[in-house]
A and B are shown apart, each in its own frame.
Chain A
């Protein structure tokens, strides 16, 4: 039922009741007016009669003959009948002579004494009529009181008057109904005009429910409806700005590379994207409605990012078997108290395969390095040891050329053995996982410096090691790192007049950076990128011996700890090697990598 029909339905019953009441009251009012008109007429007939003298004499003498004539004249004005009665009500004369001698009812004496015409409603032969009684009294004389002579009664018909009253009320009804019909028509069209903003709002709502947000309607007035339209337009625009349509949401869900499953409070799947279906080897339609427990092997997941979010590794039960996945589960509670579970997952079987392949490859590499180290070094040892044996022979001692050549063979063998050891160490460190325990870098640096000093007792190197530097890391690897950096500093200060090696910590770009500084020979910063390449050397091995893996190894160890390694140096101005643990400084790493030997 439309609002307009409701308003009309509300108005029309009142109109109908009003019409009824007006008609009824109109009828009674018209009848009252008409009846009193008739009364007045009958009184006028009686009072205005010019031959009243004759009637007085007739009554006094009670002579019917004398009275008949005036009575007949009284009826000529449309009266039904006229009668002359004595004070007792006996009919002396009547316009209808058959009535003479009968007794008629009279108004009470008290009324008659007032000598005024008395109208009454009567019924004559079953029809309504007005009968007016005029009491007739003698003129009062000297010492002679007024005496009642009798009465004159004139009866006028009322039937026609009542019919007129009815006709009047029927006409009134017709007029009112006509007016109401016109008013209803006006109301019908008027309401349509008045309620147009409401129907437009209804249309807009219908359009918004199926179409895009942001549609508006014209604001036609400044009243409440206009305000409603304005607010509605604002709402629509706001929705367009903030709401995400279901299409968009579903498109995003489908585009995501993870499998996504949404369930209701009971754990039944309400939505599953294609990726989820593919991983499980089913269609999204097969998943919807099924309990999510059917597809997930329960694992204890770790909470992350709040009490309602969990993640970890789990297994899914697919059509073709179990699938290892990385899973995240979020419990949602809407404002209405409705609960839901969002499960997103990523198939990690490829990753797991790659991991296991990598582990296999690492194992193979390890076995290979192990065998290589043994099998390559065994003949080398034979070369060097037998060279020594021959060199000890008297024949070799007597031939300097032979001794020199054998010496060269022996030192080449030793050098090669050192390189093999360095290579093995390098590959071992690269493969090792860094542990994370509390490590005293100061203590390790002190021990390593002492070892260096003990092994090279001929040199006096001033060492300055900052105390109480502790951090988290792999003790073995950090020892190797500091050993390499300190021995590097030791080595390159061998030609300095007052050699000095420092270990300490300082703030660099907001991070704690450890450093090993020396006042040795230094190097050209153009060659920064070269020092990280294994077996790459910036100095003559005869002058500064070494395998060429010390600094590359140091850099790998730092990287394993999630830190950055960089250096600062100038030729003959010493060198400083910096490293951080657990914090990367991209700018420093870039500076190292981008150093170009071709720059001048």
Chain B
């Protein structure tokens, strides 16, 4: 059975196609201005990679901030539901999932079938989301891809006073004037973000098997700070940004955990 999951994120659109619960294609397209068009583009890319046609798809499920803007779908499913399904599929021991995307942060607890038991979402404030690191890497003129690794070279822990992304930008400028090294500043940024995310996760509680998903999971600096804050080692799956789309495709196929 071939199914498709579409994750219409605020920044990127991700598509995963499954054949008998095996990934046969995935694609990732910047959401940009015309979200519908970008969605179509992402789907076309994935279909091409899978060498199948739209009619071969048994069921399509859409998720994410713009789930209703997907060009076509049979059903929608909440992001937390998709995240936990995808995370349990990749790491069956997972009982806590943290998703840090471009504009939202989410923490959730689930059972062995990926069913949600409790969750907490931040979608009001950029301080606990990818937009925060993006703004900071821009302010420091360090490419986002290098920003995480840079913070691992920090020699000092510098607290960041500002919580708000907008204020933090000014604070970073002040730090630059005070000759604080870029590595130390990068660490300050990731520590600040991690403290926001971990306080959100503490609200729902967490077990030892924590899987981190979403684009920000690729940021090694943030992962390092989060590990220290939570005092454990979070599991970061390969391609963490696709976990939501994967969960949507799994849900379309009716996968419910286990073997």
Chains A and B are bound partners: no
Taking beta carbons and an 8 Å cutoff, which residues of B are in contact with A?
none
Chain A: residues with CB nearer than 8 A to chain B?
Answer: none
